């Protein structure tokens, strides 16, 4: 089968077959890198010390407790999404495929472990492409409405 084209057949309601073709770009989007903990960088002693600070431990504890079970939060500044699973478990649902996001997750795991909280990752975490800030940028001038009337001085 040609790698540049994926053919899928879908049965329609009349029992006939309909062919659907997808281009290579769509096929590449479906091929995702699977997250593993081996992707996390090795932390420096300074990172480990910072991860065990009162501030970081308090932050993790603020996500725990019965009132937070099931709550999902996306943290834009760190590039990851967490959900509270139970009173002692957070689950990383998604993380950007970016060095700083992976470092943040590694540090968060150290913070959590230091207070007896488990952060589930492998088998749960989707690795997201880091967004290209320039490609989605829309000029504010494009969104402004042009006055349709005559300007009166």
Neighbouring C-alpha atoms within 13 Å toward the C-beta of 72? 6
* Element holding 92 (H helix, E strand): strand 89-96
Query: Whole-angstrom Cα distance, residue 6 to residue 21?
Result: 6
Looking at residue 149, its pLDDT comes to 53
Number of domains into which the chain is organized: 2
Is 112 part of a structural domain of the chain?
yes
How confident is residue 131, by pLDDT bands cut at 50, 70 and 90? Answer: confident
Of 31-40, 79-88, 106-115, the poorest mean pLDDT is in 31-40
Domain containing residue 6: 1-31
- My answer on whether 37 and 21 are in the same domain is no
Q: Is residue 54 predicted with pLDDT exceeding 60? A: yes
pTM of the model: 0.68
Q: Is residue 140 part of a domain?
A: no
Is the residue at 61 inside a domain?
A: yes
Q: Are residues 94 and 54 in the same domain?
A: yes
Sign, Cα dihedral of 106, 84, 80, 25: positive
Residue 132: predicted pLDDT: 74
Q: Is residue 114 part of a domain?
A: yes
Asked whether the predicted pLDDT for residue 105 surpasses 90, the reply is yes
pLDDT tops 60 at residue 20: no
51: left (phi over 0), alpha (psi -120 to 50) or beta: alpha
**Would residue 149 count as lying in a domain?**
no
Q: How far apart are CA 85 and CA 105, in angstroms?
A: 17
**Segment 122-132 mean pLDDT:** 90
DSSP code of 126? E
**Residue 151, domain member (yes or no):** no
Is the domain of 2 the same as that of 17? Answer: yes
Same domain, 17 and 42: no
The answer on 54 and 15 residing in a single domain is no
| Interaxial angle between packed helices 54-62 and 99-114, expressed in degrees from 0 to 180 and rounded to the nearest 10 | 90
């Amino acid at each position: 089968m040609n790698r540049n084209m994926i053919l899928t057949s879908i049965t329609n309601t009349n029992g006939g077959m309909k062919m659907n073709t997808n281009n290579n770009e769509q096929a590449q989007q479906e091929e995702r890198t699977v997250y593993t903990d081996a992707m996390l960088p090795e932390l420096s002693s300074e990172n480990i010390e910072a991860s065990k600070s009162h501030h970081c431990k308090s932050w993790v504890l603020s996500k725990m407790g019965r009132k937070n079970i099931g709550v999902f939060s996306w943290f834009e500044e760190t590039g990851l999404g967490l959900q509270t699973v139970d009173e002692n478990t957070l689950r990383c649902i998604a993380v950007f495929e970016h060095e700083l996001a992976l470092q943040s997750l590694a540090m968060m795991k150290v913070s959590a472990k230091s207070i007896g909280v488990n952060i589930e990752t492998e088998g749960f975490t989707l690795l997201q492409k880091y967004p290209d800030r320039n490609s989605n940028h829309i000029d504010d001038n494009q969104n402004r409405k042009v006055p349709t009337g005559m300007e009166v001085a």
